[in-house]
Structure 1
């Protein structure tokens, strides 16, 4: 199990290469969702030049789809980011907020994708604008895919690992939190009954007393969530505070070399 834990951390340990031929497609689902998500009837302007979202055109594993959001130098800071998978049972995958030391943003997560779907990110910028970027991803079955660690995975829920490397004038950290993030659509392979939903719903990562990022998450965040993010260098340990929908609380103080 330890090897699986380390392997999952390393999956996002280097910059991925994504296809660039999968732009957003017309989506009747998004037309119906849009107002509930962003409280307006029209799409935000395209994020070109401000933010890019990259994801594979065809996912090799629908339960572990890597998604990376990046910004060029000098772009307006992103204060809030809503990530949406149009065709998922719960389309809003997560809402993130970011601190100053995360700018310009270079942030990667892994998502479940349940059907061929647009995957989009709506950013609220420091200058008051809202912009949107996205990709069309061919994947199916991610929300019901069997949990790799089985229904007994909750016994080790909350274990964390952090890896940090230097890239230019920034640090790049990879944080993994062990948790099955049960979606409610998976079945116990013995009883064939649905495993009740239980997933991390809040996450706060701080360093040196300052917020790096927060998350309000849902069932679309993958099992054993992994977050890869660039930030300003610091020798201070990271403090991670997470909760799940069953009321469990997970707190860790982590250094870049491994577990806290």
Structure 2
């Protein structure tokens, strides 16, 4: 059984709003009228700066006692500046240790600062990993920094971030029929893209991944949280990646990742918050 990590679910106090004062009424010197107005940061830059306060408040809970350095080129994060759908925000993390650097990568944690449970998922990698790519879809509840924090083999943390404009992703209703989703819960698909010259594969797990913040359209009450909390993907006996996830992962969790086909089968194990365990094995080339 994989280790479970706590996910912050408590609400947080709202941020202070910025107040803009009106100019006083009176005589203005001609020199002041002629002078160019002092430059002011844009409202969007103000919002980004303010939202850094959230990171300061949640960081001690997510990475207690740890220092975090800038990742540089080792961690690359691709996220839309403005999401088309806040409940299905595409995220890609590229990890690459440069030649000559002896370090390896142990894990990467994806954080959405402003979500009710900021830690979207922690992804443990195979021992000795130096290069890995991972794509998935997440919910973003309000304008937020999204962060990828990689952990090296020696325990150091390296972070990069992107600012995503989206709202309402955690409370957005499911895009698929709930009864149908439940009827097919746990079904899996695996696809390899090696035949197209891309050394990647994709795993999809059918699951509504309820966040606990969505309104049931019939009862008008909140739908209880029910989501996939653990995923493990192996190639033969070797781990490709394992995930400990929370409510920020979108419905029907889908992961695209670095993959080299072989004769070894690919096995997928998932467990949700109700304790249901789903397993499936696929041929090495996909099916």
User: Whole-Å Cα distance in 2 between the matches of residues 164 and 102 of structure 1?
Assistant: 20
**Contact 2:147 2:161 (8 Å CA) reproduced:** yes
Seen in structure 2, the aligned counterparts of structure 1 residues 128 and 194 have a Cα distance that, compared at 3 Å, is closer
| Contact 2:75 2:148 (C-alpha < 8 Å) held by counterparts | no
Q: 1:102 to 1:129 in 2, by over 3 A?
A: closer
Indicate whether 1:36 and 2:64 are aligned.
Answer: no
Superposed CA deviations along residues 69-111 of structure 1, whole A, max 9, x for unmatched, are: 1133536432111111000010111111001486401111110
Q: Deviation per CA, 1:21-71, whole angstroms, max 9, x where unpaired?
A: x9x9431111011111111375x1111121111100000010111111113
Quote how far apart the aligned CAs of 1:241 are. 0.6
Determine which structure has more spread, i.e. the larger CA radius of gyration.
Answer: 2
Distance 1:36 1:247 in 2: 25
C-alpha distance in structure 1 between counterparts of 2:88 and 2:149, whole Å: 21
The secondary structure found in structure 2 opposite 1:45 is strand
Question: Matched residues in 2 for 1:241 and 1:121: separation?
Answer: 24
RMSD of Structure 2 on Structure 1 (CA): 2.2
> 5 Å matches for 1:117-132?
117-132=144-159
2:274 aligns to what?
Answer: 246
Residue in 1 that maps onto 2:192:
164
Distance 2:258 2:48 in 1: 30
* Aligned mates of 1:56, 1:101 — CA distance in 2: 30
Alignment: residue pair count: 235
Q: Secondary structure at the match of 1:194?
A: coil
Give the TM-score of the pair, scaled to structure 1. 0.84
**TM-score scaled by structure 2?**
0.76
